[in-house]
Structure 1
Amino acid sequence: MTRIGGNPAISTEHAYGLTLRVARWRQGAGGVPLLFLNGIGADIAAAAPLLARIDGREVWTLDMPGVGGSPDTLLPYNAPTMASVVMEIADRLGHVQIDVAGFSWGGALAQQIAVQFPERIRRLILMATTPAVTAPGIGWAALLDSDMLASGMKLPTATPLGLAYQGLAMAGWTSAAMLPQLKTMPVLILMGRNDGIVPASHGQMIANLIDNSVLEVVPGSHLFPFTHAADISLRISAFLDQQPQAAQQQQVAA
């Protein structure tokens, strides 16, 4: 059994015919809960060192079908369907409003959720992601990520079908026409300075589409949320804890 750091509460949720493993840190804590959406093929255990560090709120995540503790699904799914699945689970957890953070593939899904359910999302954090998932190698190419190699970190494996369906879900997907709708939502975009998989220019593309969003290029390569977990968790918390007026002033300054 894969060890998951930080002792989260683990449950199995069923929605839209899918069975998904869910992990919740600091269950029932006050404030707005944070949903984290992981990269392709990465499971709860990979995200645990980051999520366990984010204090002061409930933080939850889930394994996609065929990843970690979630079994394969018989049929493929698309981004809008998975967004609906995730928000159905949020309903069952009692989360009327949430903050959303997404990394890589999960950053694309986070964008889809934000434009599909804008009234449910308070703040959005996008990390090492893109407004168009068309570049080959996202996910497996992270096996050669310089930060990961230096740290000895290993990505967990997913089933071949799980990986195939995750890739298929975003085939031809783009948020370019939808992102301008998020101009009133506080959005933080974090990109790795040495990311060779999703270069920082992709973050700039997102920033150009969302008025008043904040773009920061941080040290590290593609897996910086995990290999620089201490620094990134502090940046996430600072953004989520900002008062609305302070957040607006930061966006204007950016």
Structure 2
Amino acid sequence: MPQNFVFRTIELNGQFLRTAVRPGSSNLPPLLVFNGIGANLELVFPFVKALDPDLEVIVFDAPGVGGSSTPGTPFRFPGLAKLAARMLDYLDYGQVNVIGVSWGGALAQQFAHDYPERCKKLILAATSPGFFMVPGRPHVLLKMASPRRYIQPSHVVKIAPDIYGGAFRRDPDLARGHASKVRSSGKVGYYWQLAAGLGWTSIHWLHKIRQPTLVMAGDDDPIIPLVNMRMIAWRIPNAELHVIDDGHLFLITRAASVAPIIMRFLAEERQPAVIRPRAEPLAKH
């Protein structure tokens, strides 16, 4: 576990959020991470460690996950985006870059749409546009519907090759290492996260996302088939797609090769196109 994170638990109108900030000295805006369903913030540390050490990074446990409190009723994605904005206010951040993975990618889309002034650039990893997605295989989705893999570490070792694909098919040690970092806060929080996405879709407003967007997908992702990421990249006007030779958790399993792609994207200064006036025809004499 990285030792240079500053951990805080903050209260926002009765909701306690466990946060962790890796301070940085980069001129780039801090990177805010929206994690996957049921995933506590420690699970993203291998990816954060692969990024430029000067980049400031903000991670947190979603309501009902890890060290954050479980609300009495579920948040929807707009409510979670609002909570994230208030968290940034509390921690004294203005504009950030945003990365969202899987379930967190849906939240990242909502945040970029609802708070465009807070989100400079957007990175979407292994995610979908929600209700109108092309679903994964039924037996995989059935396993994803249960929080058992976050409650019984031995269970995730058993099912990881089927649900995560990629490197998890070849290396059982990856699943054991992943399971060792899990910090579950119970079933209710997981079901609340599932409820956040019921009936939700971004497909009808993705074209309104104007931030430069990096879309990243694994070519062996049993949960989110690649076609979904192609759809997102097609719908967002200023998006580019990178396909990674791995599965659903490529941010972790391929961190060393993915991190430089992300850092180049964050450092790139894109200039708007200059539309020059049409030249007037020369006067005839």
Same-fold status (TM-score > 0.5):
yes
* Whole-angstrom CA distance in 1 between matches of 2:13 and 2:26: 28
> Which residue matches 1:224?
250
Asked if 2 retains the 8 angstrom alpha-carbon contact of 1:41 and 1:139, the reply is: no
Deviation of the 1:96 alpha carbon: 1.1
Q: Which amino acid aligns with 1:169?
A: A
* Whole-angstrom CA distance in 2 between matches of 1:214 and 1:228: 19
* Whole-angstrom CA distance in 2 between matches of 1:139 and 1:242: 38
> Which residue matches 2:104?
106
Asked if 2 retains the 8 angstrom alpha-carbon contact of 1:22 and 1:61, the reply is: yes
> Which residue matches 1:238?
264
Greater Cα shift, 231-240 or 51-60: 51-60
- Pair 1:181 & 2:201 matched: no
> Which residue matches 2:178?
154
Asked if 2 retains the 8 angstrom alpha-carbon contact of 1:40 and 1:104, the reply is: yes
Report the secondary structure of 1:52's partner residue.
helix
Report the secondary structure of 2:16's partner residue.
strand
Deviation of the 1:235 alpha carbon: 1.3
Report the secondary structure of 2:50's partner residue.
coil
Length, aligned pairs only: 243
Asked if 2 retains the 8 angstrom alpha-carbon contact of 1:6 and 1:49, the reply is: no
* Whole-angstrom CA distance in 2 between matches of 1:103 and 1:125: 9
1:139–1:43 Cα change, 3 Å: farther
TM score, norm. by length of structure 1: 0.88
Deviation of the 1:7 alpha carbon: 3.0
Identify unmatched segments of 5+ residues in structure 1.
249-254
Asked if 1 retains the 8 angstrom alpha-carbon contact of 2:215 and 2:242, the reply is: yes
Report the secondary structure of 2:64's partner residue.
coil
Within 5 Å, which residues of 2 pair with 1:64-75? 64-75=62-73
Q: Deviations over 1:213-235 (max 9, x none)?
A: 10111111011111111111111
Percent identity at matched positions?
34
> Which residue matches 2:223?
197
Report the secondary structure of 2:62's partner residue.
coil
Report the secondary structure of 1:102's partner residue.
strand
What RMSD, in angstroms, separates the aligned Cα atoms of the two structures? 2.1
Q: Which amino acid aligns with 1:39?
A: G
* Whole-angstrom CA distance in 2 between matches of 1:212 and 1:117: 17
> Which residue matches 2:32?
35
Aligned counterpart for 2:44 among listed residues 31, 44, 47: 47
Deviation of the 1:87 alpha carbon: 0.7
Greater Cα shift, 205-214 or 20-29: 20-29
Point out 4+ residue stretches in structure 1 off by more than 4 angstroms: 137-142
* Whole-angstrom CA distance in 1 between matches of 2:116 and 2:14: 24
Asked if 1 retains the 8 angstrom alpha-carbon contact of 2:76 and 2:197, the reply is: yes
* Whole-angstrom CA distance in 1 between matches of 2:186 and 2:168: 21
Asked if 2 retains the 8 angstrom alpha-carbon contact of 1:32 and 1:97, the reply is: yes
Aligned counterpart for 1:60 among listed residues 58, 61, 68: 58
Asked if 1 retains the 8 angstrom alpha-carbon contact of 2:28 and 2:267, the reply is: no
**Larger Cα-atom Rg:** 2
> Which residue matches 1:90?
88
Greater Cα shift, 224-233 or 131-140: 131-140
